[in-house]
Amino acid sequence: QVQLVESGGGSVQAGGSLRLSCATSGYTDRSYCMGWFRQAPGKGREWVAGISSDGRTSYADSVKGRFTISKDNAKNTLSLQMNSLKPEDTAMYYCAAEGSVYSQYYPLSGCRYGYWGQGTQVTVSS
């Protein structure tokens, strides 16, 4: 019954900005970690950013300083503000949320992601 619904994907010129949002529902409580992943053409799925249940943020080196992850606990929404976008940021972006103890663990974010959104395309042109 956990659901993640993404919005905000689209096309943007290099150097521009885009904000992705993810609405969550179905959790018994709101104290869970969340994150963003992406998968570029011909590449594997890459962890982009994470935010812990107590608000600690973490980022992949490739986006550090350009992307900002945040969440609104009251509204159960997750956001990814993407600035100074580059063509190499072009990918399908996925919202993810904490799953069970058996879900794959990502040490940099301290989160086990077990639920995923449908993916939204971000295309950066130059």
* Per-residue pLDDT at 74: 80
- Quick check: 76 pLDDT over 80? yes
* Per-residue pLDDT at 25: 86
Mean pLDDT of all residues in the chain?
Answer: 93
* Per-residue pLDDT at 28: 59
- Quick check: 96 pLDDT over 80? yes
Q: Read off the DSSP letter of residue 30.
A: S
Cα–Cα distance, 39 to 22 (Å, whole number): 17
Residue whose entry in the numeric block shows the structure tokens 């949320």: 97
Do β-strands 10-13 and 120-125 pair in parallel, antiparallel, or remain unpaired?
parallel
* Per-residue pLDDT at 31: 67
CB 82 within 8 A of CB 67: yes
pLDDT digits (tens, 9 = 90+) for 2-49: 899 999 999 999 999 999 999 988 775 656 899 999 999 899 999 999
Percentage of residues in the chain having pLDDT higher than 70: 96
Q: What is the dihedral of CA 6, 11, 13, 15, to 10 degrees?
A: 10
Q: Kind and range of the H or E element at 83?
A: none
* Per-residue pLDDT at 30: 59
Is the sign of the CA dihedral 39, 42, 43, 44 positive or negative?
Answer: positive
Q: Kind and range of the H or E element at 67?
A: strand 67-72
Count the neighbouring beta carbons within 10 Å of the beta carbon of residue 56. Answer: 11
